[in-house]
Chains A and B, each alone.
Chain A
C-alpha cells in the first residue's frame, strides 16, 4: 500500500508556486506551510524541496534574494516572478482538469 502523502508526479512545482504566490518565504517555511495547510496530508520530503526550488529558480519562475529573517539571520527568500505567476495559472489549470477527470473516472457507478 502506498503512502498517502506521495505526491502525484509534477505537482510539487505547482504546490511550491502556489505557496510563493501567497507571500515570499524561505525554503523551510514553504515545507512547513504546506504541511499546515494540507493538515499534514501533503508532506513534502525536505530532500526534494531544495532541488525543486532551485529548478524553479533556474527556469526563471521564482526569484531568490538573501534577506535578514525574523531571528536576525540571513535567509534565502523566494518569491514568484511575473513569468512564475503565469506558469502557476497554467499548472493550476492542468491540475484542475486532471483532478476533474480522475474524479469522474473514480465516481463511475459500478454495474
Chain B
C-alpha cells in the first residue's frame, strides 16, 4: 500500500471518529442533494413536481438504511459502539458482583505488587544515571582479598601512575571522604557534615552540571587555591531550602573559612553519602607529604571516564596490566599474601551493586504473583464462560457477529482489569514510603523512586494485556460445534475436555508458583532467624550508647590530649550521677559499631608465617568499666584498671579470636605485642611493646554475618583520645533514659556534638533490618500467592462438583455412599495438589539458587524449608478441597435426579 493512500485512509478514519457530527451532516447533505437533482430530472422528463420527488425518494430506498450502509464503510464502527459496549459490560458485571469483586481484587493485588516493584526497579536500577554520558564512567576498586580487605582505596602515587599511563581512561577523578567535618554557618550553629574531598576535575569527569553558581575546576587544585565548597543538591534543599543566594556565602569548615561557590545537580550518593564537596586545600592532610608521597597511604576513591573509542573491556585490560607492573615495581607496597587486585565496574553497576540481585528477585516474585492472579482470573472467567455460553449462543443466533461478541468480552474484561489496575496502582502508591525506606538500605538512588508516567503506563499495559488474554479463553457461540446445542433446551454445565485440561493446568501452575515463592520466603525467614540467633558477644539489653565526637580535624584534636581526656571524664562522671544509670563507661566507639582504625600487629618472639597475611587488628580503647557495662565477658587475665594511664606500663586486652590467631593455644597473658606496618607511621600511635593483660569475648562489630573482627583494646586513658562514646548500663529502660542523658551532656558541655544515641538492641536490629524487609516482602508475596491459589483450587473443585451433581447423584443412587463421593472429590483435588507440589519442588530447586547471595546459615535447597513449605501448602490445599467435597457428599440423589 502506498504511503499516500495509507495517510489518506488514516485521516479519513480519524475524521469519522473525531468529526463524527460533521461527517454525518455531510452525508445528509449529499443525499439531500441527490434527491433534489433527481426530482429536477424527473420534472424535466415530464412528471408533476410532487410525484417527481416521491419517485426520487423511492429510487433511493430506505434512507436510514443507506446511511447505515455508508457508516459501515467507515470501518471504525467499533469505536462508535464502544460506549454502548461499556455500558453493556458494566451491566453484565453488576449482575455478577461476586465474580467482579473477586477478579478486581485479585488483579489489584497482582498488578499492585508489580507496579510497586517496577516503581522500585525503575527508580533505582533502570533509569539512566543523571551523569552526562554515564555509560562511559567507570569506578575502580582496589582490594586485597588475602587480607580480608574488600576495598583498600588508592594512594596519591598510585593514582598519579594510572593517570600518567592509562590510555583507555580519558580522565580520572578523585574522591575521598575522611573524617566528618563540622560546618558552622553564618548564624554560628554547628553541624557535623559528610564532606567529600574531590579533585578539581571531579564534576567535569563525572559529567555533572551546577544548578547554581559553579562547580570546582582544576584551578581549585593545589595548596595555593582558595578553599571552596560545592553543596550537594540534597544538602542544599535540606539546609538552605534551595536558596540560590547561598552561592558566595562563607562557612567555617573545621577551622577554615570556605566559600560556597555552587550547587551540583542531584546525583546518587556514591560511593558514600556526601553533604558537601570541597577542594583538597580544605583538608590540610591532603596536602601533607605522607598523603602525597606514600604509596601505601590509600584513602582515595577513583572514577574514570573512558577515552573516546575505548571500551570498558579494553580499559579493564589495560588497568590490569598497569596494576600488575605496579605490583612488581613496588613489592614493598603490595604484600604478596594480601593478593592485591583491581576491579573496574561501569559506574552504573557499581551504584547498583548491592540492590541489583534483591530488587530483581522481588520483581520476579511480584511477576509470579501476577501470574497466579491471572491464572486465577482465567479460571474464574472460564467457569463463568460456561454459564454464559448459552447467552453467547442466543446473542449469536439473534445476529450478533462473532467479532462483536468477542469485543463485548474484551470490554468486560478491560473494565475489570482497569479497575483492578487502578486499585493496584493506588496500593503501590500507598506503599511508596515503605518502598523508599527499604530501597534506601540497598541503593543510593532510593530518593529517585517515584510513581511517574512510565510506571503508570506499565501498570496500564499490564492490565490491558491481562484483559485481552482473558477474553480469548471462553468459547463464543458459532465457534466450532458449540452452536448446535442451542436447539435442545439443555443447559451445558461442564467445560470441554480441552478447556478442563487448561483449567487444571492453571491450578497446578498456581500451586507450583506458590511453592517457589513460599520456599524463597521460607529461606529468607530462616536466614533472619539464624542471624538473630548469632551471638553478638554483648549483653544487648539495658545498654545505651552515645557517640560524642570531638569537633575539628584529627590532626588538631590529637594536640589537645590531656584536655580531651579530662573532657570525657567530666562527661562520664556527670552521666554516672543520673539515677537509672548503673555503670557509665567510655570507649573510643560503641560495641557493635565499626572501629575507626586498624593496623598490623606483631607478637614478640613469634615470627609471622610467610605464607599467611600479617596479623591485623582493629584498635579500640576502653576504660575499666567498658566491658562490664556492655556485658563483654573477661575470659582470662584482668580487665583494665584505673592505674593503666599515660605514663604507666602500656597494656592491652585481646579479643578471643585475635588471641587465638596470635598465640594459638598458648597462654597470651604476659606476652608482648606491638602495632606495626607501613600505615602506622602516618598516625600518632606508638609502635612500642605492650603487655597483654587479659582476653575478652568476641563481639560482632561488622555485622552478624562475618567472622568476629580481630580486636586489640587499649586503655582509654593510655592511648591518644581522638573521640569517644559513652556506654551506659542502665537499671531502667535505656531508650527512655536517653533524653535525660543527652540533656545532662548539653548542660556539662553545651557545644559537645552528640550522635548515634542508640541502645545496643537498636544497633543490633539495624544490621538485620534490610534482611527483615527482604523476608517481609517475599513472605507477603508468598502469602498473597497462597491466598489467591487457594481461592483458585477451591473454586475449580466447587465448579467441578456443581457440574457433576447429576453424575454424583447417579453414582449415589447406584450404591456409592457419602464417603466414597468424599474420597472421589478429595482425590481429584489431591491429584492437582500433588502435581502442583511436585512441579513446584523442581521450580524451587532451580530458582532458589539465585537467592544464595541473600542467605545466611541455610543452603538454597534447605530440606527443612522445602519440607515445611510443602507441608503447609498440602495442608491449606486439602482444607481448600474440603468444602467442595463436603458439598458433594451431601448431594441427595432423590432431589437432584427428580429436578432434571
Contacts and interface: CB of A to CB of B under 8 A. Distances in A.
A58 B6 contact: no
A10 interface: no
Interface string A68-83: 0000011110000111
A81 B61 contact: no
Contacts of A81: 4-5, 8
Interface string B18-43: 00000000110111011011100100
B669 to A, nearest CB: 99
A93 interface: no
B682 to A, nearest CB: 82
A6 interface: no
Contacts, number: 74
B34 A46 contact: yes
A46 B38 CA distance: 10
A54 B9 CA distance: 12
A4 interface: no
A76 B26 CA distance: 9
A111 to B, nearest CB: 46
Chain B CB within 10 A, most for which of A28, A57, A73, A74: A28
Interface string A35-76: 000000000011100110011011111010010000001111
Contacts of A73: 33, 36
Given A46-B59, A47-B61, A83-B5, A74 B34 contact: no
A55 B73 contact: yes
B8 A27 contact: no
A90 to B, nearest CB: 13
B70 interface: yes
B61 A63 contact: no
A46 B75 contact: no
Contacts of A55: 73
B29 A74 contact: yes
Contacts of B5: 60-61, 81-83
B384 interface: no
Chain B CB within 10 A, most for which of A45, A57, A61: A57
Chain A CB within 10 A, most for which of B26, B27, B34, B41: B34
B9 A60 contact: yes
B430 interface: no
B769 interface: no
A32 interface: yes
Contacts of A32: 41
Nearest to A84: B5
Interface string B33-64: 11011100100000000000000000111100
A66 B29 CA distance: 11
Contact of B30 (A50, A58, A63, A82): A50
A45 B61 contact: yes
B823 interface: no
Contacts of B8: 60, 63, 81
Given A54-B74, A75-B33, 13 more contacts: A28-B38, A45-B61, A46-B59, A50-B31, A51-B73, A54-B70, A57-B12, A58-B12, A58-B73, A76-B33, A82-B4, A82-B5, A83-B4
Which 7 residue pairs of A and B lie closest in terms of their CB atoms, listed nearest first? Answer: A47-B61, A51-B69, A60-B5, A55-B73, A83-B5, A28-B37, A60-B8
23 contacts: A27-B30, A27-B34, A28-B37, A28-B38, A46-B38, A47-B60, A47-B61, A50-B31, A51-B72, A54-B73, A55-B73, A57-B73, A58-B9, A58-B73, A58-B75, A59-B9, A66-B26, A73-B33, A75-B30, A76-B26, A81-B4, A81-B5, A83-B4
